[in-house]
Amino acid sequence: MNIVMLGLNHKTAPVEVREALAVSGSDMTAALTRLRALPISEGVLLSTCNRSEVYAVVDDPAGVDGALVDYFLGLALALHGRELTREQLLPYLYRRHGLEAVQHLFRVAAGLDSMIIGETQILGQVRNAHRDAVQAQTVGKVMHQLFHQAITVGKRAQTETRIGQSAVSVSYAAVELARKVFRSLEGRRCLAIGAGETAKLTLRHLLSAGVREPIVANRTLDRAESLVREIGGRAIPLDKVPEALSEVDVVISSTGAPGYVVTRQQVEEAVRARRGRPIFLFDIAVPRDIDPAVAQVAGAYLYDIDDLEAVISANLAERAQEARKVERIIAGELERFRQWAASLAVVPTIRMLREKIDAIREQELARTFNRLPDLTDHQREVIAAMTVTLINKILNDPTQQLKGMAGEGSASQAIETVHRLFDLQRHRAEPAVENGSAP
């Protein structure tokens, strides 16, 4: 019994191929139903906008690859009407086997394999993939353990390191910089100039940080009103920006205008109207929306795209440093999983040993009770319970020793010895997870 993973992601496949294999929530049940038809004993499908991966427990690692490739081809056709050939798909696929598959999932859950290192959304997607597989009844003992530990890795990466705590997008960097300036954005007001995706994302970050009643200005008022309906606030035409400047503490500008949308004179007038209260302006447009001379106005603080990129570069370097800490967490959890998987090899022997000794216990209890017919039911229960406790205590040390030896990779001889000493039926148990590629 082995763990195998086959899949593709943003590093190996273009977006049109990833789209062909993407499985939305409404299609997940059908996709997992198809998974049950494969020659696997357990399986989980992890599908996001950036990756599609199948994790499976199989008896024959070498013989399952073709079935998994056909599975992906079937999904593309059934869910998206995309008729891909094996030759078209194979160059984009990667395969992991044994502990390499386990390590890969741990890195995915920790955000180390993401487009942006340390992003936290993937952990929820790993959790959902396991939940969906549980509901579809495609998981068993091994996949439960694997995904529970992967989720633990992701949680530890977030709580024990700073891998996901520094801003690595322009919009989020602007918000984080504003938060540092004001210490808290709770109750602050902001103006977004522009109503595109960057403005929307930045406003969402600001609202989650406590900003209230955002103002959205756009050359096309309909677009500003559409964004306001989605997130709240007030929409104004672009020519009302000079008046709005005096009302807000933070300005985020991200239009595609050819000239300056905010001038030095407008900011000077806004600062006078604010009576000494500072205003912070973030120009994340290229070409720039805000006249660079605004930086010379007392009480106005201007940051442009280069300032934000410098923050992002420093934060990416910090994430790379934190990634090394995450790798150490993964190494420890990987060893813990290896020991757990190796211990499965001795489970059949432990079970047979317990079954044989319990059968002997039952026989001897029956003989004893026959010789002592005057015992009450309570006395019989006490004696029976005592024999169970006795057996558990006797078998505890050998059981733990066998599991420990399995974790060290030296259980084969001990298993053979136990079978001979107790005359157990021979049962050859293969290791649960091999290290490396399939033979």
31 is in an annotated binding site: no
Nearest CA among 280, 276, 251 for reference residue 183: 280
164 annotated as ligand-binding: no
- Residue tagged 């050939």 (tokens): 85
Q: Which residue bears the tokens 């992701």? A: 154
Nearest residue to 218 via CA among 285, 298, 166: 285
Q: Is 268 annotated as belonging to a binding site?
A: no
355 annotated as ligand-binding = no
Residue owning tokens 């300036």: 181
190 annotated as belonging to a binding site for a ligand: no
Phi, psi of 45 (to 5 degrees): -105, 120
| Adjacency order of strands within the sheet including 279-283 | 234-237, 215-218, 190-193, 250-253, 279-283, 300-304
Q: Is 197 annotated as a binding residue?
A: yes
120 annotated binding-site participant: yes
Per DSSP bridges, beta strands 51-58 and 94-97 are unpaired
What torsion, rounded to 10 degrees, do the Cα atoms 77, 81, 84, 90 define? -60
Tell me the C-alpha distance between 108 and 351, whole Å. Answer: 35
CB of 329 within 8 A of CB of 300? no
List the one residue out of 246, 244, 249 whose CA is nearest residue 234.
244
49 tagged catalytic: yes
| Interacting residues of 347 by C-beta distance below 8 A, sequence separation 6+ | 429
Is 121 within any annotated ligand binding site?
yes
Instruction: Please provide the size of the chain in residues.
Output: 439
50 is in an annotated binding site: yes
What burial class does residue 429 get, using C-beta atoms within 10 Å of its C-beta: 0-12 exposed, 13-18 middle, 19+ buried? middle
Whether 152 has a binding-site annotation, put simply, is no
Q: Are 349 and 424 in contact (CB under 8 A)?
A: yes
29 is in an annotated binding site: no
Using the structure block, give the residue that is written with the tokens 């977006």: 15
Q: Please indicate if the annotation marks 125 as binding a ligand.
A: yes
Q: Strand pairing of 42-47 and 2-9?
A: unpaired
Q: Is the CB of residue 240 less than 8 Å from the CB of residue 266?
A: no
Residue 42 assigned to a binding site = no
Burial class from Cβ neighbours inside 10 Å (0-12, 13-18, 19+) for residue 234 reads middle
In the block, tokens 């007030």 appear at 234
* DSSP secondary structure string for all residues of 21-44: H---GGGHHHHHHHHHTSS-SEEE
Beta bridge partners of 53: 7, 46
Pairing, β 190-193 against β 279-283: unpaired
Among the listed residues 15, 37, 49, 310, the single catalytic one is 49
Residue positions annotated with a catalytic role: 49
Q: List the binding residues.
A: 48-51, 114, 119-121, 125, 194-199
Q: List the binding residues for substrate.
A: 48-51, 114, 119-121, 125
Q: List the binding residues for NADP(+).
A: 194-199
